[in-house]
Amino acid sequence: MTMVNSAPTSMVASSKLSANDSSHFEDPKLFRSIAGTLQYLTLTRPDLTFAVSKICQYMHNPTVNHWKALKRILRYIKGNMDQDLLFTACTDFRLFAFSDADWGADADDRKSVIRYCVNLGTNLIAWKSNKQRVVSRSSTEAEFRAIAAAQSKVIWTQNLLHELHLSLTTILTLYCDNQSACLLTVNPILHSKFKYFELDLHFVRDQVTHKKLFVTNIPFS
C-alpha cells in the first residue's frame, strides 16, 4: 500500500456493500487486523467513522469487495495524513448536536444507520456512526432513534462537565433534518402511531418538557 495513489474520499459514493456481494476474501485474519486498527483511528478522525463502521460489519466473513473498500480507506488516509482536530478557546460555552439517519440503508437486513456529532462551542467533541439494533418502520422512527442516541451522549457530556464544575450558558439545541421527528418531540397526539419505540419517545419528550433539550429542524441540502 506504500506505493498506491491516494483516494479523495474514504468510500465510493455509489458503494452498496452487502454480506455476499462477491467471493470470499482469502485472508480474513488480515482483514480483521486492519479493520480493528482503523477503529482506533476513529477516536480522533471523525471523517473515517462512517466508512470504518461500515466495513467492520463484515469482519466475521469478509469478501473481496469488502477488502477493496478497506483498502480505499487506507488510500484515503494516505492522502490525508495531516488531518487533525483543532480545539480553540471560546467564550460561547454552548452545547449543541446534529443527528441524522439513513432509513433502511443496510442491504442485508434493512436496518437504518444513525449518525450524530456533538459540539461544545466551536469544538467538535463527540461523534458516532452505527447501525441500529432494530428495524425502523419509517424514516421518522429512524430519525427519532438517532435523536435519542445523540441525547444520551449529550447527557453523559453534561454530567462530565458538571463534575468538572463547568456551567453551560444555554440549554442543548439538537438539529435534525426530519421535520416529523422534530414535531414528535413536542406533540403527544402522534404517540399512538409510534408505540413501538415508546421508550425513546418518553426519554426525549421528558428532556424537552423539562427544558433540558430543544429539537429544531435544519433543512437538508
pLDDT for 198: 66
The predicted pLDDT at position 68 comes to 95
The pTM assigned to this predicted structure is 0.84
Ranges for all domains in the chain classified under CATH 3.30.420.10: 95-217
Return the C-alpha cell found at 173.
Answer: 439545541
Could you report the per-residue pLDDT of 126-181, keeping only the tens digit for each?
A: 999 999 888 888 888 899 899 999 999 999 998 998 899 888 878 889 999 989 88
- Give Cα separations from 208 to 20, 35, 170, 171, 220 (angstroms): 43, 39, 14, 10, 23
Tell me what the mean pLDDT of segment 3-13 comes to: 87
In this structure, what DSSP letter does residue 163 have?
H
Give the closest residue to 171 by CA, choosing from 131, 209, 136, 122.
209
Reported as a single tens digit per residue, the pLDDT across 88-127 is 887 778 899 999 999 887 878 898 999 999 999 889 999 9
User: What pLDDT is recorded for position 154?
Assistant: 92
Q: b or e along 192-217 (b: 16 or more beta carbons within 10 Å of the residue's beta carbon)?
A: eebeebeebbeebbebbeeeebbbee
pLDDT, residue 157, reads 92
Give the pLDDT confidence of 43-73 residue by residue, as tens digits.
Answer: 999 999 999 999 999 999 999 999 999 999 9
CATH architecture for residues 95-217: 2-Layer Sandwich (3.30)
Which ranges in the chain belong to alpha helices (H)?
28-41, 49-55, 64-79, 139-163, 179-184, 198-209
CA distance 23 to 29: 16
